[in-house]
Amino acid sequence: MLAKNEKTERHVLSVLVDNEPGVLGRVVGLFSGRGYNIESLTVSETEHNKHVSRITIVTSGTPSIIDQIEAQLGRLVPIHKVVDLTNSGPMVERELALVKVAGKGEARAKALQVSKDWSARVADETSESYVFELTGESSKIDQFIVLLLPLGLIEVSRTGIAAISRGAEGM
């Protein structure tokens, strides 16, 4: 039950881990076992010679829930560091989407014009479809998708966000 003054907030967590089998499963298991939701999840090796990966997790919760998540993640082995990018200062976050639109004639021309207006790249083209590539904030991608819905939107594939703090300091 939420305290009266606690509101649910969206947070972006960055987690440095050893790149080894089972680590992602343990992280996801922590969330599912405690009933926490993962809204977005991206993982990639960031330091190949050190075998270190970065997991970026978007989740929501009250401040006390977010604190619990951070503390519980920090106790998992082999996690090196957990940073709440939302609370640590300004950050840059981006997402990549591939958006497939099918159509002919005027709808096809309008879809291409929308892609140009939104600086989306044509990643693939056939005589009856386009696949557009768009990178930006999640809200920008959401708006782009809404515009393409009436123009023959078929399918969307999104990466989830990648995020990093601004400034000269690393994690």
Q: How far is Cα 165 from Cα 163, in angstroms, rounded to an integer?
A: 7
pLDDT at 3: 53
pLDDT at 5: 74
Which sign, positive or negative, has the C-alpha torsion 64, 70, 73, 75? negative
Mean pLDDT by 10 residues, the chain (171 residues): 74 95 93 94 88 95 93 90 93 96 94 97 96 96 97 96 91 82
Q: How far is Cα 169 from Cα 14, in angstroms, rounded to an integer?
A: 14
pLDDT at 159: 95
Report helix, strand or coil for 126.
Answer: coil
| C-alpha atoms less than 13 angstroms from C-alpha of 161 in its C-beta half-sphere | 26
Q: How far is Cα 121 from Cα 139, in angstroms, rounded to an integer?
A: 18
Domains in the chain, start-ordered, CATH in brackets? 9-84 (3.30.70.260), 91-165 (3.30.70.1150)
pLDDT at 6: 82
